[in-house]
Structure 1
Amino acid sequence: MTDTQTVEVSTVDHSIAIITLQRPNKLNAFNSELRLHLLQAVERVNADDNIKVVVITGAGKGFSCGADLAEQHPAGQTAEDRINLEYKPVLLAITHAQKPYIAAVNGPAAGIGCALALACDLVLMAPQSYLFLAFSAIGLLPDGGISLQLSRQLGAKRAYEVMALGEKLKARECVALGLANAVYGEEGRESSSAKAITPSLDGVLVYAQRLLKRAPLSLRYTKQVMRETVGKSLGEVIAIEAKFQSIAGESEDFTEGKAAFLEKRAPVWKGR
């Protein structure tokens, strides 16, 4: 897969895409180029049927420190414009993707970098990494959907406390709070380009391989059901689940899954 100056896209076994933010000297801070290139990368892997799982990570010693505060913006462009036109499309492209996204948080994930991590379906964090909401320290407020993500997981009072006080949530605390799934890369390795200790992605790839063993349609529809049932009543949730269960139950993958189970062998998924 092709790369750009600020984003690198690589594949593992032709089925796992790794999208790497490539501004390590700026802690992968978002400027206009990175915003555009990340969206292009996400759209490209979303359209590739060979890709079943996507990993997003950062080059160097950080995932992303958020927006590049030194960036000069076009005259007349407001923060509202940038959020709605340059950040929202990529966050929604991840959320609405038909394949699972894993955030491999290899260092600080601050501001919009935190929003990017939380937009992913699964979050794996390196031991030294943390989520950081420093908005109130510079006179801003959380954006990129962070307020919704934290309120859902932590409850309104704890979420407000984290955002108001600008807490650093370390990896293990994030796992305990349900903001992350696991800690990966206990053993660091030397990154010659960034001159920093960065964790190996081996553990993340092992995790991704576990997802590859599951039926693609099951992963796709489970993600869609979770998205569509937010705020719904129990009866509405059951009805939405029933609709997608009917679709999955008529798929070739369900036929294969039943046969593989009865024959005590590994299934061969087709994604249809």
Structure 2
Amino acid sequence: MSLEESGQTVALEIRDAIAIITLDRPDAQNAFNTAMRNDLLQAIRSVEDAKAIRAVILTGRGRNFSAGADLIDRHRQDPSVERMLNEEYGPILLAIMRSDKPWIGAINGAAAGIGSSFMLACDLSIMGESAFLYQAFAAIGLIPDGGASWHLVRTLGFQHAFETAIRGERISAEQCLTLGLTNRVVPDAQLLDRSLALAGELAAKAPLAISRAKAALRFAADHPIEELMPLEARLQQLCADSEDFKEGIAAFRSKRIPHFKGL
């Protein structure tokens, strides 16, 4: 998928240094089928290869961000849930988390099932006021997957994460904000504009510092401080040796806005 091209199930739009990836199966509530998994992975690869892109927004067309997995498609194509999670969903979700670029989830309506995992995989998220996160797995005899357990226990602690997993209740946007599961809640009509504003703010910052801060914090989630501090020092040295650092210092001294190039 080339930049600013639409697949059958995913649309990719470029606005200056910002990529907007839109899940585009509105008639199916953006439920993930085989085609959408493939199209989304191709969109991610296109964005990752484009050095001019400095921030990415992931959202859904229509009423919902994503209703989760397309269960009918799953059983028709391949009954192996384990294979699908390891070989199809896993690479997509990890690509988002390991990306050098910041990812913003713009969450409209339901982020349910595996859809909630995509919301949680993003580095930041903004929810429309009527949006909600729904761990729908318990209702059909399943457990959270796609890394949702990892995100929930680190954000909520074991007891709240366990309750969320087994009760399977909807968590409103305001509740998500209180629990630390999202960064902001905005009026539904302002969701994309506010997400673009945040993405623009990130795109104006030093790309190397953004990517290395993300790498350090992702590493910090499951490593002891004795291992984190040497990584921080190495990443800080790389930042200090960059042209962007020199530009930042020069801009500070001149009292002007810095112009970072990612070099």
TM-score range, shorter chain: over 0.9
Amino acid at match of 1:96: R
| Alignment correspondent of 1:221 | 212
Contact 2:244 2:261 in 1 (8 A): yes
Pairing 1:232–2:223 present: yes
Contact 2:109 2:131 in 1 (8 A): yes
Pairing 1:85–2:87 present: yes
> Residues 32 and 216 (structure 1 numbering): CA distance in 2 closer, same or farther, change over 3 Å?
same
Contact 1:229 1:240 in 2 (8 A): no
| Alignment correspondent of 1:11 | 14
Count of residue pairs brought into register by the alignment: 260
- Deviation (angstroms), 1:43: 1.0
- Deviation (angstroms), 1:238: 1.7
Q: The residue matched to 1:201 in structure 2 has which SS?
A: helix
- Deviation (angstroms), 1:227: 1.8
- Deviation (angstroms), 1:236: 2.1
Matches within 5 A, 1:234-249: 234-249=225-240
Contact 2:106 2:191 in 1 (8 A): no
Cα distance in 2 for partners of 1:144, 1:97 equals: 17
Cα distance in 1 for partners of 2:207, 2:70 equals: 37
- Deviation (angstroms), 1:208: 1.0
Cα distance in 2 for partners of 1:101, 1:123 equals: 8
Pairing 1:171–2:162 present: no
- Deviation (angstroms), 1:76: 6.0
Higher helix share: 2
Contact 2:127 2:184 in 1 (8 A): yes
Contact 1:35 1:86 in 2 (8 A): yes
Cα distance in 2 for partners of 1:29, 1:92 equals: 19
Contact 1:107 1:130 in 2 (8 A): yes
- Deviation (angstroms), 1:255: 0.4
Q: The residue matched to 1:70 in structure 2 has which SS?
A: helix
- Could you report, residue by residue, the CA deviation over 1:192-239 in whole angstroms, capped at 9, with x for unpaired residues? xxxxxxx55111111111112211111000011112223322232221
| Alignment correspondent of 1:208 | 199
Q: The residue matched to 1:104 in structure 2 has which SS?
A: strand
The runs of 4+ residues in structure 1 deviating greater than 4 Å are: 74-77
Gaps of 5+ in 2: none
Q: Residue 73 of structure 2: which of 64, 71, 74 is its match?
A: 71
Q: Residue 157 of structure 2: which of 155, 158, 177 is its match?
A: 155
Contact 2:13 2:19 in 1 (8 A): yes
Cα distance in 2 for partners of 1:102, 1:75 equals: 31
Gaps of 5+ in 1: 189-198
> Residues 75 and 51 (structure 1 numbering): CA distance in 2 closer, same or farther, change over 3 Å?
closer
Pairing 1:48–2:54 present: no
- Deviation (angstroms), 1:74: 5.5
Contact 1:19 1:41 in 2 (8 A): yes
Contact 2:97 2:123 in 1 (8 A): yes
Cα distance in 2 for partners of 1:62, 1:72 equals: 20
Cα distance in 2 for partners of 1:40, 1:187 equals: 28
Cα distance in 1 for partners of 2:87, 2:72 equals: 20
Cα distance in 1 for partners of 2:83, 2:116 equals: 20
Cα distance in 1 for partners of 2:43, 2:262 equals: 22
Pairing 1:264–2:255 present: yes
Amino acid at match of 1:258: I
Matches within 5 A, 1:87-102: 87-102=89-104
> Residues 76 and 267 (structure 1 numbering): CA distance in 2 closer, same or farther, change over 3 Å?
closer
> Residues 47 and 168 (structure 1 numbering): CA distance in 2 closer, same or farther, change over 3 Å?
same
Deviates further, 222-231 or 88-97: 222-231
Cα distance in 2 for partners of 1:200, 1:125 equals: 7
